[in-house]
């Protein structure tokens, strides 16, 4: 166990001052190339590693970015994170990731912990249950950049990245209508969250546009847990006017619905057409493969990372809130086909 070497050690070795060592290591302009070289080679030889705590304590910044997501293990989230990590890493930032597990309480704690940990910025996708946003005040109050992605809330001056969920919901629903569906069920998520609320609104807008709402509109608010699928099946079986189309708020739920519906004898897409959301890989595995909305998660991650880092670096208009809307796209596959 070799003991750690500090700038003082290097200074002593080279008969120069710690300040000069520090400046060399940080590539300060007013240091001669010669000394820098000396310092760097000495650093290499001795295996010097800069102590980030001391540096951070002194500089009051940490080069780390905090992230709070509802849960890590969904294809969408891990894809977004993958994008964020890529950008962060390329720019010399570390990522501290924590999950709220859809609990407001845990989200609060995470926000606090990350704040204490001295993150330079925070990226958040909200938990389903969150209704109070005070835990983010500590960030805004101290001008620590805060960005929401996907599941957002409109806080003053916080940039947000998302897709047009309303339009996406509209597109999905109108597609079903165009394929001949008349009694369409929307299996949605928690309406507290913009993403699910907007998808629902889009659904309703499409239904109204085609004079199907309110009569032929059916809505089930769920937490999108797979256990809720039996409710969906029951609803469909007990519905007076046969449901002939379903728009489900995510693909995982959608493919499992298809599976269950098939088990109880429904023919997809002949009797019921289905559209999902996210374009998860699983949407291409199900039979029939799933019509869905392409949601550019990786790109969202890259953008979130880039946006926050440019804030951090340039400190450009920290105060001008920005809203980035990514393009979504309807991907037509067999689950909504009418050419059978």
- The least distance separating its own copies from the CB of residue 264, rounded to whole angstroms, comes to 16
Q: Is 321 in the site for its own copies (CB under 8 A)?
A: no
Report the residue from 12, 41, 57, 225 that binds its own copies according to the rule CB under 8 A.
57
Q: How far is CA 33 from CA 37, 41, 48, in A?
A: 6, 12, 19
Which residues from 28-47 bind its own copies, rule CB under 8 A?
A: 47
Candidate list 17, 32, 41, 287; residue touching its own copies; CB under 8 A: 287
Residue 200 main-chain phi, psi, to 5 deg: -60, -45
Contacting residue, 60, 131, 132, 320, with DNA by CB under 7 A: 60
Q: Residue 262, preceding bond cis, omega within 30 degrees? A: no
Binding span for DNA by CB under 7 A among 31-39, 99-107, 121-129, 294-302: 31-39
Query: Which region holds residue 27: left if phi is over 0, alpha if psi is between -120 and 50, else beta?
Result: left
Is residue 278 within 8 Å of 319, Cβ to Cβ?
A: no
Give the integer Cα–Cα distance in Å for 114 and 97: 9
Helix (H) or strand (E) holding 294: strand 292-294
Give me the residues paired with residue 94 across strands. 64
Which tokens hold the place of 256?
A: 């499992």
Q: Is 97 in the site for its own copies (CB under 8 A)?
A: yes
Count of residues that bind its own copies according to CB under 8 A: 55
Q: Which stretch binds DNA (CB under 7 A): 49-57, 97-105, 185-193, 217-225?
A: 49-57
Q: Give the binding-site size for DNA (rule: CB under 7 A).
A: 29
Binds 270: which of its own copies, DNA, none (CB < 5-8 Å by kind): none
Q: Which of 27, 44, 58, 131 binds DNA (CB under 7 A)?
A: 58
Find out whether 105 and 113 touch, Cβ atoms under 8 Å.
Answer: no
CB atoms within 10 A of CB 33: 8
Check binding of 35 to DNA (CB under 7 A).
yes
Pairing of strands 329-331, 292-294: antiparallel
Q: For its own copies, what does the binding mask look like between residues 214 and 253, x meaning CB under 8 A? A: --------------------------------------x-
By residue count, the chain amounts to 340
Pair of tokens at residue 5 = 């070497």
Helix (H, G, I), strand (E, B) or coil at 99: strand
For DNA, the binding residue among 45, 54, 209, 259 (CB under 7 A) is 54
Binding site for DNA (CB under 7 A): 4, 6-8, 15-20, 22-23, 25-26, 29-32, 34-35, 48, 50-51, 54-55, 57-60
Binding site for its own copies (CB under 8 A): 1-2, 4, 47, 49-54, 56-57, 62, 64, 71-75, 77-79, 81-82, 85-86, 89, 94-99, 106, 110, 113-118, 138, 141-143, 252, 255-256, 259, 281-282, 284-287
């Amino acid at each position: 166990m070799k003991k750690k070497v500090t700038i003082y050690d290097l200074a002593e070795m080279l008969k120069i001052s710690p300040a000069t060592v520090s400046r060399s290591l940080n590539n300060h302009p007013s240091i001669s190339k010669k000394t820098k070289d000396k310092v760097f080679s000495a650093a290499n030889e001795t295996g010097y590693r800069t102590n980030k705590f001391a540096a951070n304590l002194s500089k009051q910044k940490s080069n780390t970015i905090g992230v709070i997501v509802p849960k890590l293990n969904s294809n969408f989230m891990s894809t977004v994170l993958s994008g964020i990590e890529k950008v962060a890493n390329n720019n010399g930032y570390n990522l501290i990731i924590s999950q709220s597990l859809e609990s407001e309480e845990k989200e609060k704690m995470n926000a606090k912990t990350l704040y204490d940990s001295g993150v330079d910025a925070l990226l958040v996708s909200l938990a389903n249950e969150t209704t109070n946003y005070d835990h983010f005040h500590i960030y805004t109050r101290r001008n620590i950049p805060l960005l929401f992605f996907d599941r957002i809330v409109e806080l003053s001056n916080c940039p947000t990245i998302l897709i047009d969920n309303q339009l996406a919901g509209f597109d999905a629903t109108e597609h079903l209508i165009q394929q001949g569906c008349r009694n369409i069920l929307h299996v949605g998520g928690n309406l507290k969250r913009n993403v699910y609320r907007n998808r629902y609104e889009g659904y309703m807008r499409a239904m109204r546009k085609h004079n199907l709402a309110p009569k032929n509109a059916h809505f089930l608010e769920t937490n999108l847990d797979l256990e809720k699928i039996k409710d969906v099946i029951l609803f469909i079986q007990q519905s007076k006017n046969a449901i002939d189309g379903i728009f489900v708020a995510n693909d995982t739920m959608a493919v499992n619905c298809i599976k269950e519906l098939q088990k109880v004898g429904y023919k997809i897409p002949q009797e019921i057409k289905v559209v999902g959301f996210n374009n998860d890989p699983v949407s291409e595995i199900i039979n029939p493969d799933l019509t869905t909305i392409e949601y550019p998660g990786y790109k969202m991650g890259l953008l979130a990372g880039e946006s926050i880092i440019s804030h951090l670096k340039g400190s450009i208009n920290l105060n001008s809130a920005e809203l980035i809307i990514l393009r979504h796209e309807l991907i037509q596959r067999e689950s909504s086909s009418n050419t059978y």
